[in-house]
Amino acid sequence: MDRPGTGRRAFKSRLWDIGAVQKKEIQMAINMSRRRNKGEDDDIPMAPMIDCVFLLLIFFMVSAVMRVPPPFTVTLPDSATQHEFTRKKFNLFISSDGRISIDDQEMLSLADMELWIAAHENQISTLIIKADKRAKHGVVIDVVERAKMRSSKPEGLEIAFAVSEED
């Protein structure tokens, strides 16, 4: 005789109990995955989008052209010819009332301009003079002569005059 709890019938009932437990676990896993999938479909992942926006922002900030406006307005005269300069150039602005500035630094006098040119001569390949069309020619000539005198090069600084583009 078989002992109670042993035998073929007891073995089958235990298998059935294990099978029922496994079925319940499988059903719970399916239900959980369905819940997770529903929640994921509704959400758009924001982290990659934010990363892309910041990368674009940094790219455009770095690639933007930074222009230094002169401390006063300059209206350039017209000309039929224009030249492009590929080397390092500095802009010297002359206003209609005779004020002078090099890039973003306003010069108080012609002597200050001479000292600045002497200090930065090895960096200057071309000095571009942007004089207002109402500026006095005497001031423009003084600026050109003093800039050439301050240069240690035998031929002096390379100087160019800026003109406005014709429409």
Q: What is the pLDDT of residue 57?
A: 94
Question: Residue 127 — very low, low, confident or very high, per pLDDT cuts 50/70/90?
Answer: confident
Q: For 89-161, give the CATH class.
A: alpha beta
DSSP assigned state of 121: G
For residue 94, give the nearest of 128, 142, 146, 135 by alpha carbon.
135
Question: Is the sign of the CA dihedral 157, 133, 142, 114 positive or negative?
Answer: negative
d(CA 39, CA 101): 63
> Phi/psi at 165 (nearest 5 deg)?
-75, 145
What's the average model confidence in pLDDT over 4-15?
A: 58
Chain segment 58-75, per-residue pLDDT in tens: 999 888 877 766 666 667
